[in-house]
Amino acid sequence: MASRGGNVSPSLDPKGTPQFGLVAEDVKKLNPDLVVRDDEGKVYTVRYEAVNAMLLNEFLKEHRKVEEQEAAITELKSAVAKQQNGMEVLTATLKSSIANPEGDRRARSEELFTANRPQQSVRVQ
**CA 95 to each of CA 48, 92, 98: distance values in angstroms, whole numbers, following the listed order:** 69, 5, 5
Q: Are 53 and 26 in contact (CB under 8 A)?
A: no
- Backbone phi, then psi, for 94, in 5-degree steps? -65, -40
pLDDT of residue 88: 94
pTM for the structure as a whole: 0.51
Strands (E), the chain: 5-8, 19-22, 35-37, 43-46
pLDDT of residue 20: 72
In this prediction, the residues of the chain whose per-residue pLDDT falls under 50 are: 6-10
